Chains A and B, each alone.
Chain A
Amino acid sequence: MLWIALDFPCLPLETFALASAHSEPWAIADGTDVLVCNQPAHALGVRAGMRLSAACALSPRLNYRLRDAAAETATLATLAAWAGQFTPNVSLESPRALLLDIEGSLRFFGGIRPILQTLKRGLDDMGYTATMACAPTATAALLLARARMQKIINCKRALEAVVATLPLSALECDARTAQTLHAVGVRRVGDLLALPRDGLARRCGQPLLDTVDRALGRLPAPRQFFAQPEQFDARLELAVPISNSETLLFAANRLLNQLTGFLAARNGGVQRFTLTLMHERCAPTRIEIGLVTPTRDVKHLTLLVRERLAALVLPAPALALCIEANDILVLAEENRELFPSRDGAQGEWQKLVERLRARLGSNAVHGLATQAEHRPERAWRTAPPGTASSAPASGARPLWLLSAPQPLPEIATRPQYRENALAFLAGPERIESGWWDDDDVKRDYFVAQTPDHATLWIYRERRAPGGWYLHGVFS
């Protein structure tokens, strides 16, 4: 058995997405006392445990918010879902720790250190700070992580030596027990182990001994594992109302990283997801993002979200972001070839189409398809790119078709185009069709040429009132 414990000391602060978390002093208050504060606030003299009023007196620029315990629990759950890509056995240790059983994943990731590095990188991308420790028992790993000792213990023989060096505060016993033990001279867990067990159990309680025994592996410690959710639904509270699209993208990026971690855990891809922005007094703004093929590439998703946010006009500043992804599809992995060929770019044109649509609009990018119709303006239609169509047999057709036929002036019953008489090259082609849907056409089509040799496709309208029209240009 090998366990990694992730302890998040600043979870109350990092639950809120703060773009300025590194530059402005921030503190989270629990009631009237400061619970956690960030580095700039620490530099100004704010410490955990002091009164909030004292902290504000120390630095007038201090920003603070009240603790949101429900949001912390939800964040821990989403982090557990994200960590599912490393191992299916993830255990929550509220209020702010996660335990991962990674013995089975060692071979896949190539060792403990690669797993730890990938964990650290992923958590940095999402903006969470964590201390990580690795030990053969879950409780030992948890105690090491809580004591900020980032150690890797591979075998049980070294376990006792390291656990003995842990400070007593890591055991988190109550104040009276801690005072008693401090008075006796116990500073480290090693000193505790040297004391007689039955006396210790009588004076300080059996649970304390049980914790140490579990850490050393003498007592079994079964854990309940986190059940991975089927759908993704994550919410991020914003510390201050934001209406700047870059800052919103920064907050959305965290949620997208969580989404891709969740998808990696089940080898899936998302084809459609919704980004919702909550406002104070208006209805939430929903942005639906659809993709041509399912994907879990975080860079591509960030690009799409960036384009949509840039084009968005918010009715009010956003207070929270929420991403929901209900349709998780299994992503079929492609077989790679030994020598890369051009066919490897098959999925690339779909990504290009999505990128263009994200900025220009969904209707701006389309493909073409033919229809079986005699009427020229209906013989084609816009279609999603990549639609197959049959090639209908027809006469000479121009490469450019005007969107609406342009009437041509007539001089002595001959059509004129820009003051020039037209000369005929071929024709007529009678097209008479469409009596069934009130768009009856009855036209004689000719191919005509202007004096400067532009070839045009014109027609003479046979129904009243008649006249010559220009319908297309041969190119």
Chain B
Amino acid sequence: MNALAAVLAHSAIWRGNQLSRVTSSSIPTGFAELDAELPGGGWPTAALTEILPRHTGIGELRILGTALAALSAQKRTLVWIAPPHMPYAPALAAIGIDLERVVIVTTRSPREILWATEQALRSKACGAVLAWPGAIKYPELRRLQMAAEDNPVLAVLFRAQQAAAETSCAVLRIDLQTYHGQLAVRILKRRGAALNAPILLHSPAVTPGRVIVEHFATSSRSMPSPPTPLPQRGRGGLRAKPLCRAVS
């Protein structure tokens, strides 16, 4: 068996369930289950990655948070091109991204988005380029892929979930959904063997805490805390009694 294992470990032999080797460095995602399934052990650089969230705000930035924080700690610039809303600066600072490295580009037309993405990918100055290109065709994707080659840049395109049916030349395509409160990551395309089962990541947006609400007549099953009066906060003696009553 040792001889067989030695033969199979040869670099020229590829087995069907193996992930391919990658030549450019990868950036760890911060989730061990996801790292284990990605070739190179992280987000690929020098190539396009596509993230297709089911809707905005499902967790597409949380999944990149560790990688972006690591890149900004290495003093690399993070370029955001045409984001759907303005990234909130205190929240970015809270997850560890250095705001000095963040550059936001707002554009007026889809052509400008593509041009700006290509310029950012081609210049060797960026550590990560996050773009929301809207409707994009295969030749344009190919052009962005060519621009990203030879540059150690993390290039991420966010597209609508309907784009999963279109062909794309990105080396990694990820579909994001939720499943029972956890983030379900389905890898649609990666270098190497295909993965059919989704990966469940436990990554809550906010740690559930006490919720105290008032004037609710009906009960809500998602209020985890028992009824407790609000502790007194002496802010100039404005409140003399508990603020609200928790209704079970």
A residues sitting closer than 8 Å to B (CB atoms) are 342-343, 345, 348-349, 351-353, 355-356, 359-360, 363-370, 376, 379-382, 385-389, 391-392, 394, 396-403, 412-414, 423-428, 446-447, 449, 452-456, 472-475
Report how many residues on chain B are interfacial, defined by Cβ distance under 8 Å. Answer: 64
12 A-B pairs within 8 Å (CB atoms) are namely A353-B103, A364-B108, A368-B99, A369-B99, A389-B89, A391-B93, A394-B94, A427-B211, A473-B56, A473-B85, A474-B57, A475-B57
Number of A-B contacts (CB under 8 A): 190
In the complex, the answer to whether B77 meets A426 with C-beta atoms within 8 Å is: no
Query: Which listed residue (A388, A394, A402, A427) contacts B90, Cβ 8 A?
Result: A394
Considering the chains assembled together, what is the distance between the CA atoms of A400 and B90 in angstroms? 11
In the complex, the answer to whether B112 meets A368 with C-beta atoms within 8 Å is: no
Q: Nearest residue in A to B105 (C-beta to C-beta)?
A: A365
B residues sitting closer than 8 Å to A (CB atoms) are 54-62, 75-77, 79, 83-95, 99-100, 102-108, 112, 115-116, 119-120, 123-126, 152, 178, 181, 205-213, 215-218, 220-223
Tell me which residues across on chain B come within 8 A of A368, comparing CB atoms: 87, 89, 92, 99, 102, 104
In the complex, the answer to whether B206 meets A356 with C-beta atoms within 8 Å is: no
In the complex, the answer to whether B100 meets A386 with C-beta atoms within 8 Å is: yes
Query: Which listed residue (B57, B99, B125) contacts A370, Cβ 8 A?
Result: B99
Taking A399-B87, A452-B55 as known contacts, 13 extra A-B pairs with beta carbons closer than 8 A to each other, sorted by chain A number, are A345-B124, A365-B103, A368-B87, A368-B102, A370-B99, A387-B99, A397-B90, A399-B91, A399-B95, A400-B84, A423-B221, A454-B58, A475-B56
In the complex, the answer to whether A401 meets B88 with C-beta atoms within 8 Å is: yes
Tell me which residues across on chain B come within 8 A of A356, comparing CB atoms: 105, 116, 119-120
In the complex, the answer to whether B123 meets A348 with C-beta atoms within 8 Å is: yes
Tell me which residues across on chain B come within 8 A of A428, comparing CB atoms: 211-213
In the complex, the answer to whether A425 meets B222 with C-beta atoms within 8 Å is: yes
Considering the chains assembled together, what is the distance between the CA atoms of A10 and B158 in angstroms? 58
Considering the chains assembled together, what is the distance between the CA atoms of A475 and B88 in angstroms? 11
Tell me which residues across on chain A come within 8 A of B86, comparing CB atoms: 380, 400-401, 403
Q: Chain B nearest CB: distance from A347 CB in Å? A: 8
Query: Which listed residue (A351, A379, A381, A394) contacts B125, Cβ 8 A?
Result: A351
Considering the chains assembled together, what is the distance between the CA atoms of A212 and B55 in angstroms? 88
Q: Chain B nearest CB: distance from A425 CB in Å? A: 5
In the complex, the answer to whether A426 meets B125 with C-beta atoms within 8 Å is: no
Query: Which listed residue (B77, B107, B178, B212) contacts A349, Cβ 8 A?
Result: B77
The answer to whether A388 and B100 touch (CB under 8 A), given A399-B87, A455-B206, is: yes
Q: Nearest residue in B to A349 (C-beta to C-beta)?
A: B125
In the complex, the answer to whether A412 meets B218 with C-beta atoms within 8 Å is: yes
In the complex, the answer to whether B57 meets A400 with C-beta atoms within 8 Å is: yes
Q: Nearest residue in A to B221 (C-beta to C-beta)?
A: A423
Considering the chains assembled together, what is the distance between the CA atoms of A5 and B83 in angstroms? 59
Q: Nearest residue in A to B74 (C-beta to C-beta)?
A: A342
Considering the chains assembled together, what is the distance between the CA atoms of A475 and B63 in angstroms? 9
In the complex, the answer to whether B126 meets A352 with C-beta atoms within 8 Å is: yes
- Nearest 3 pairs of A and B residues by beta carbon: A348-B125, A473-B57, A380-B89
Q: Chain B nearest CB: distance from A420 CB in Å? A: 12
Q: Chain A nearest CB: distance from B213 CB in Å? A: 6
Q: Nearest residue in B to A391 (C-beta to C-beta)?
A: B93
In the complex, the answer to whether A402 meets B213 with C-beta atoms within 8 Å is: no
Q: Nearest residue in A to B58 (C-beta to C-beta)?
A: A454
Q: Nearest residue in B to A475 (C-beta to C-beta)?
A: B61
Tell me which residues across on chain A come within 8 A of B85, comparing CB atoms: 400-403, 473
Interface centre among A359, A379, A425, A475 (most CB of B within 10 A): A475
Tell me which residues across on chain A come within 8 A of B210, comparing CB atoms: 426
Tell me which residues across on chain B come within 8 A of A353, comparing CB atoms: 103
